[in-house]
Every structure is written in structure tokens, then in C-alpha cells.
A and B are shown apart, each in its own frame.
Chain A
Amino acid sequence: MTAAPAIALAVVLVSAVALFSRRAVLLYRLIRLGKPAKRFDDLPGRVRAEAVVVIGQSKLLQRWLPGLMHAAIFWGFLVLLPTILIAMIGIVDQHATLPWLGEQGWYALMVDLFAFLVLAGVITAFVIRKVQRPPRFAGSHLGEADLILLWIAGIVITLFVWHASRIALGLNEYPAAWAPISSLLARTLGGALNQTVERAAVWAHVLLVLSFLVYLPYSKHLHIFLAAVNVFFGRTKSRGRLEPVDFEAPPDTVRFGSATVADMSWKQMVDTLSCTECGRCQDVCPAYNTGKELSPKLLIMALRDQVLADGPKALASKAAKLSPLVPDAVTDNVVWDCVTCGACVRECPVGIEHIDHIVDLRRNLVMVESRFPEEAGSMLRDIDRASNPWGRAQGDRAQWAQGLDVRVLQPGEAPPDVLFWVGCAPSFDERAKKSAISTAKLLKEAGVDFAILGPREACTGDPARRMGDEYTFQKQAQQNVATLNEAKVTKIITTCPHCFNTIGSEYADFGGRYEVVHHTEFLAGLVREGRLKTLAGERKITYHDSCYLARHNDVIDEPRELVAASGQAVEMPRNRQRTFCCGAGGARMFMEEKRGRPINEERVREAAATGADTLAVGCPFCTVMLDDGVRETGAKLQVIDLASLLSEAVERRKSQNTRQSGGF
């Protein structure tokens, strides 16, 4: 044993760590440049996310082939990590190894198997990229990905050659039979595996590993380090909730969304640096899939490029002139194409929260620049002045309930068991009214003690908030919370998933804490308890999950119970939490869809292809959008709210009972 290899290794190791640290320190400082974000609560939830999403690879495994491919490489690397140390010890002293672990037969077996899995994974990745060529890679850095895959292949191949040479030379500390693949290689190559090959292989292996380590923080492959961090700090509950703007903060610190990279939060910085350009978000995005400018992947990549370009300037000087994110990183169109459906967020394996970026860009455009699609302006004004987005008279809010004998809760009266929060669309829109009427009738039928607020109910502010007009939203939120608290309301039913999400997940930030249930959940409960008796009919029903119910709030089973009670169910390919938006979310209901193909028609075609005759919905906005889509495409579908379907089923049961009793 001579000192030369040890000295050489020390030099290489120190240089690699130095190069790595130089970049890592810059990235750390960029992240610290970010504005505060409250992501240190709910430790158990964060650990669970880490276990399921990172270790368990749950999001990747939603697509089985690329999922298994990635899991093989990821789990392989976890198992192989100690071999880096073993190889370095091997460089210094050919006859030494890591105490205990290096001598274990079972570990040699695991290394052998997992190294093989990594190699299989790399080959699969190449097949996916070169043969299958899924469109989700459009716009990603493809050459960089190839280089990284080759690097990984090189690392594993040199490891195999090294292990095989050690077995050929009799240097293995563990019984050779424990490493079947390396042994097979040793037998096959035989005499070719001499001392020189052994030395070359171990050096090549260590050099590849260390250079890979240095390359990582300069590449999109940085996710190896940051994905785990980003997933850990992701939202663990209330996924549909947006972070409020603190208008009461000292004037210089109020964050009106993001104008430049210096306005982004540290979580958003980590988001952009974590992106590995896999394109799963792009694949499920309703805007991208209907030919619009927005691609959630390209959005995050553009923000990352801006963080890397402008971030160092901001670090160098507080007075540095930074470029505006809109239009320098992304165009106005990209910002306004988003429906905030959350498909991208749900799909992302590294925990990127795209909606937060979009909303922050919108907040800046709306609140600072007054720049937004002008047709949406009247919605904002009407929410502010008339408390509903269409400027209808508040006095008419309870008109839908005429003749239904629904109690309108007056100030000072005792609260009902449940408050029926009707929402603007079911109060005013002719098509959406039907769901309010059916719900009220069913509640009466089951003998539920309920009331509505009538003219005291005001828009929750959801469309204003998703537009970026946080000011109008908070005004609405404070007003509604005051009304609800004053009325001592404890339990609320909504028919609108947007009201459901806003009151249930967001009003707590303004002092409003209530038990909020969607009408489909409440009605399903009444059916289960036998308070509503149903009889399924002939309808073939496909149910459209609305984003703010299924994806943002995980309500998926109760609506299906109502479908089953009403007819025969048939699922669309995109269902439950992986549903496809109707096109109305994110205040898109109040904007013209000028780019690409209409999202609602895309969804209606998917529904029609199931062969169903009925398209069931649980959201007034979806009702309007999909009903328009049916008219537009000429699909043979009836769009109907689940409450109205259930109402039919209850009537059917009643008339059957009448017929039967009439028979006696």
C-alpha cells in the first residue's frame, strides 16, 4: 500500500466538494432571498408526505412504466449509496472495505440486484425517450437528460466491472455466490480482469460519481437533492387554500404578488429549482391540452431561468434592477390561461405548487398594474358593488326559493341545524337554480332544520381571489364571516364547490371556522341514514368530478353514491382526483376563451364517448360550462346536478310505493 492513491483521491475529493459547495451556497442564498412562507407546521403530515411521495414514489407510480423505471433508479441509488464509500476505501487500500457492511453477503446481493435494476431503469428511460417519445417532453432539455442517463449507466457499469474484477482476483470480502451478476461477469470475462482493470474500474467509478455530484447542482437533475426538500415543505392540508395577502403589514413589506424574482417566496424558489422537466403537469393541463399558451412545465422552467439570471443580481445589490416576470419570463396570456384546477400540482412528483405562482403573478398584474383581460373587470366591480358577479339585485337572491317555504334567517333569530349557503350561480342563474331548488326540496323531504341567508349572503369572493384581486376577496370574506359569526352558524351546506372550498378552507384565515359540507355529501348521508328513500332508474350516468370538490378537497365517494342511487354509473377515463376541468375555474368563467379550443367541449366529448345519456355534475359553474358544451358539440347528453337526479330517484320511489299500495 502506497500513499499515492490516497493523496490523489484526497485531491479529487476536495476539488469536487469545493466545486459542489460553491454552487450549493449560491442556490442556498437564492432560496433564502425568498419571502417568508409558513411551511413549518404539521410535522407528522410532512413526514407522511415524504414517506409516501418520495420514498414510496406514489406520484411517479401513477404512470406504471415511467414510474417503475424511476423507482428502480431511485431505490437503486438509495441501496448503492454506501458503495461510494466502499469504492473510495478500495482506492486507498485494495484489501480493505467498509467495516461490517462491506463484508455482508446479503448487502452484496442487494447491490448486485439494485445495480442491475438501475441499469434496466436507464435502458427503459432511453426506450421511453427515444422510441415512445411522449409529448410531455416537448420543450424540455432532451440532450441534458440523455447525458444524465449515460452518466448513471457509466456509474453502474464501472461498479459491475469493479466488483467482477475483485471476484476474478479473489479480493471479495463476501462469498462470491452472493453477487450472482458480478460473478457471472467475472466468469465470462475471466482472464481479462487483471489488476489494471480493477484499478481502472474503481477509479473510473469514483470519478464518475464525483463529477456527477458536481454536475448536479448546475443541471435540471438538481431534483435529486431538492425534491425531498420541496415535498417536505409542500401543502399537507387544505390544498385548495391560497395564502392571504397581509394588507395590514407595514407598507413596505406588503407583498402584492410577484413582480420580480425578489418577490417570490422561498418555497417558490425551491419549486423552480426542483423542476426536472418531466412534463407530467403539461400532460394533464386543460389549457395546454386545448392549444393554449400556458404549459405549467414551461412556466416553472421560465421562472427558474429568471431566478438564476436575476437572483444573483438581487443578492449583489438591493437596488439592482430586476426584470418583470411578466412579460420577460412568461407572457400575460400564460398567466390568464390557467383555470387553477390543480391537475399540475397533483401530478407533480417533486411537489411544485404551480397555482401559487400563477396567482402571485395575477395579484401583481391586477393589484399593481391594473392589467387583466378587460372583460373580467365587470365581474370584479359587480362583486364589490352588488355582492354577486353579475350585478344582480341582492334583494332577488332568495327569489329561486319562492313557493318552496324555505326559511330565510333573519338577524337575531336562532340558528338552524344547518345553514344552506346557496351561492351566486344557484341563486341567479336559471340553469344552476335547479340544483338549489332540488336541494331545498330534498332537505325538506328529509325533515332537516335548515335556513338560507337570502339577501345577507354575499359572493364568497372566490373568482376575485383566483383573478388576483385579493383586496376584493378579503372584503367579501370579512363581510361574510361577520354575518355567519353573528348568526352563530356552525354547520354549512353549499352546492357550489367554490363556495365549499372558500368557506371551508380559506375563511378560517379571517376568523370563520365552520363545518362545511358539500350538498352531495350531506344528501348521501341522508340516503345512507334512510331519511331519503330512492329507486334507481334507467339513466346511464357519467359523473364529472369538479376540481374544487374532488382534486382540491377529496370529495369523490359521496357523489358516486348519489349516482348509484339514481341510475347506472359509467366512468370517464379522467375521473376522481385526476378529473379534467370544465374550463370555469380560476375566474375563467368570467373571461373569454380566445386561445385554443374550448375546454368545456373537450370534456363533453369525453363524457359522450362513455355512451352515457346523462352527465351528472355537482357544481353550478360546471353545469353552465358543460351544458354550453353539450349544445356546442351536439352531444346527446343531459347535464344535470346530482341533487336533481336524486330528487328524481326519490320521486320514483314514491310513485312506486303509490302504485304498489294502490294494488291492494
Chain B
Amino acid sequence: MEEGDASKEMLTLARKFDAETHAISMEAVQPYAPDAIAALLALVADDLNASAVLAAGTDRGNDVMARLAARTGLPFAANCVAAETGEAVSLTRLRWGDSLWEMARLHSPRPIITVPPHTFPIEDGPSPAEVDVKPFVAQLDAKDQLVRVSQHIAAAGGGISLTEAKVVVSGGRGVGSREGFAIIEELAALLGGAVGCSRVVTSAGWRPHTDQVGQTGTKIAPDLYIACGISGATQHMAGCRNAKRILAINSDAEAPIMLNADYAVIGDLKEIVPAISAEIRRSR
């Protein structure tokens, strides 16, 4: 077994709870092969006579558990925030976009449950103690390895994701065209930030929907949000309201964005944005 960072975390966690730990060699399932993981889990669960299978309710966690459930014919409850054992497992799960708690009883010899991420603080357990790590070896069917990640293609535009970037440089209608985004991209690259845009821009097909900041796009909270040629409609502001600072560059001094901006430059973004980039280059 190789100890990657993730498995180190798992081991730490297991030690905290003084649990018997079994690790699956993930070599056959790297970088990601959901059927293969589900197949291994099914074998391990049988082997250990596990009373339940739990996983994190991430995209991958839910994917693998759904496959495990289909494979074993056992019921699967996703997004549970509480579980109590009994003749039937009493569950509380989040429904309807987290607006409703559903109290349910799950009748199953081996409940399959996922827990939504970021819903619990990690609590301290008993102090870490050394535990035995018992290897488990199994053979996988070739067909279980058919579905797997074969290649990662980085998204165009640098690779800093919109949600994680400390600086987001965003363009709106005022940018004027797909090509007009060159100056936005340039400034974002100089600041080590990501490129965002408003709904108008994605509707016009200048940028992909993944770049859209707003109520119906991505909601972000960067340290600095530079809004270029964006009027600041409510739908857009819903996506960037949590930015620590907003700098608006707009030719319209009456634009709603001015009411929400910490700093504003009134003028043509096609002159101002390249000027900022030039100044950053000069000062370096």
C-alpha cells in the first residue's frame, strides 16, 4: 500500500477513533475508476461483514456509492447529516436544495450512506494510537475498469479556478466582443487571478458559462473583484457580493455597480485596463 496524502488523513482519522482499519490499494483505480472502487468496496464489505458503508457525499463519493448500491441491490441514502442505529437506521437527510430535513428510516442489512461535505466540523477523538494496517488483496474484473478517468484536460485560461482565485477580473457588455477579452485575460494573468464575466457575455457566446459570475452562475468571494464594463445588475451582484473589495471600471458613472464598488474608475475600459497592466509590468 502506498501512503498518499489522502490515505494519511484517513489513517489519522481512523486512529482518532481507535477503529480497525482496512485499506484498499488504489493502484488499479487511479486516477479514478468508480466501478472498480465500488467492486472493491462490495468485496471488502462482504469480507468484513460490515454493518454499514459510509462515504463523503462529494461528487465522487455519491458516484461510487450509487454504483455500489446498484451492484449489491441495497438501498442508498445520500446527503445524511445524522444517523442512529437500530432495527432500522434512523436518518436525517438534506432535501430540496438543503431547505428541508427529511427524517427517514432505512431498512437494510447494510445501509449505504453519504454525508454531505462541509456540514460538520471535524471533532477531536481519542488521541492517536498506532494501529495495525491489514492489507486486503483482491482481483478485479476487466469490465469493472472500463469506466475510468483516462486523461485530464486543463480548462483553457490558466487553470486558476474562479471559486479559489484571490483576484477575479471580470468583463461585461462593455468589453464588446470575444476578442475584447484579451486585455481582461492579460490583467488576470498579471495578477495571478481568474477571468470572470457577466450573463450578457455568456449569452453572446464570448465566454463559456463556467466563467459566469452571478445568481445563475458561480458565486465567488475573492479578495479583489475587478468588474470591467459590468453594469452590476442584481443577478450579477448576487455572485460577487462577498468579494472583500470591488473595483469597478465603467464609462457610466450612474451604473448600479458604482453603488457597490469600493473603488471606481470612470472611463473606457479599453484604455484603462491595458494601462493598469502596463503599470504593473513597469513596477516589476
Contacts and interface: CB of A to CB of B under 8 A. Distances in A.
A632 interface: yes
B259 A381 contact: no
Nearest to B212: A592
Interface in B218-263: 219, 231-235, 237-238, 241, 256, 259
B99 A593 contact: no
B217 interface: yes
Given A472-B96, A598-B203, A590 B216 contact: yes
Contact of A390 (B97, B231, B238, B259): B238
B79 to A, nearest CB: 9
A367 B200 CA distance: 31
Interface in B66-124: 95-100
A291 to B, nearest CB: 14
Nearest to A425: B234
Contacts of B203: 593, 598, 632
Nearest to B204: A632
A431 B233 contact: yes
Nearest to A593: B203
A381 B99 contact: yes
Contacts of A593: 203
A430 B256 contact: yes
Contacts of B232: 430
Contact of A429 (B100, B202, B216, B233): B233
B113 to A, nearest CB: 17
B234 A429 contact: yes
Contacts of A591: 216
A431 B233 CA distance: 8
Given A380-B96, A380-B99, A472-B96, A375 B234 contact: no
Given A370-B95, A469-B96, A632-B200, A431 B216 contact: no
Nearest to B95: A370
A375 B217 contact: yes
A366 B234 contact: no
A377 interface: yes
Interface residues of A, number: 35
B215 A590 contact: yes
Interface in A9-50: none
A384 B99 contact: yes
Contacts of B219: 378
Contact of A366 (B96, B217, B237): B96
A632 B241 CA distance: 24
Contact of B216 (A376, A385, A425): A376
Given A380-B99, A471-B99, A592-B209, A375 B233 contact: no
Interface in A418-432: 425, 428-432
B173 interface: yes
A472 B217 CA distance: 22
Interface in A207-262: none
Nearest to A589: B235
Interface of A is mostly: helix
Contact of A428 (B99, B217, B234): B234
Contacts of B97: 370, 377, 380-381, 384, 469
A471 B96 contact: yes
Nearest to A594: B209
Nearest to A627: B233
B95 A391 contact: no
B220 to A, nearest CB: 13
Interface residues of B, number: 26
Given A378-B219, A378-B238, A430 B259 contact: yes
Given A375-B216, A590-B216, A592-B216, A472 B234 contact: no
Contacts of A431: 233, 256
Contacts of B173: 631
A379 B219 CA distance: 12
Contacts of B200: 628, 631-632
B78 to A, nearest CB: 10
Contacts of A377: 97
Contacts of A471: 96, 99-100
Interface string A613-629: 00000000000100010
Contact of B215 (A379, A385, A469, A628): A379
Contact of B96 (A370, A389, A429): A370
A391 B97 CA distance: 14
Interface in A399-457: 425, 428-432
A444 to B, nearest CB: 23
A390 B215 contact: yes
A428 B234 CA distance: 7
Nearest to B216: A375
Contacts of A428: 234
A238 B263 CA distance: 49
Interface string B40-79: 0000000000000000000000000000000000000000
Nearest to A620: B234
Interface string A468-490: 01011000000000000000000
Given A375-B217, A592-B209, A381 B98 contact: yes
Nearest to A469: B96
A549 B98 CA distance: 33
Nearest to A383: B99
A51 to B, nearest CB: 44
Contacts of A379: 215
Contact of A624 (B95, B98, B233, B259): B233
Interface string B158-190: 000000000000000100000000000000000
30 contacts: A370-B97, A379-B215, A380-B99, A381-B97, A381-B98, A381-B99, A382-B238, A384-B97, A384-B99, A385-B99, A390-B215, A390-B235, A425-B234, A428-B234, A430-B232, A430-B234, A430-B256, A431-B233, A432-B234, A469-B96, A469-B97, A469-B99, A471-B96, A592-B199, A592-B202, A598-B203, A624-B234, A624-B235, A628-B200, A632-B203
Given A384-B97, A592-B202, 4 more contacts: A379-B215, A590-B216, A628-B200, A631-B173
Interface of B: 95-100, 173, 199-200, 202-203, 209, 215-217, 219, 231-235, 237-238, 241, 256, 259
Identify the 4 closest CB pairs spanning chains A and B, nearest first. Answer: A430-B256, A375-B216, A429-B234, A384-B99
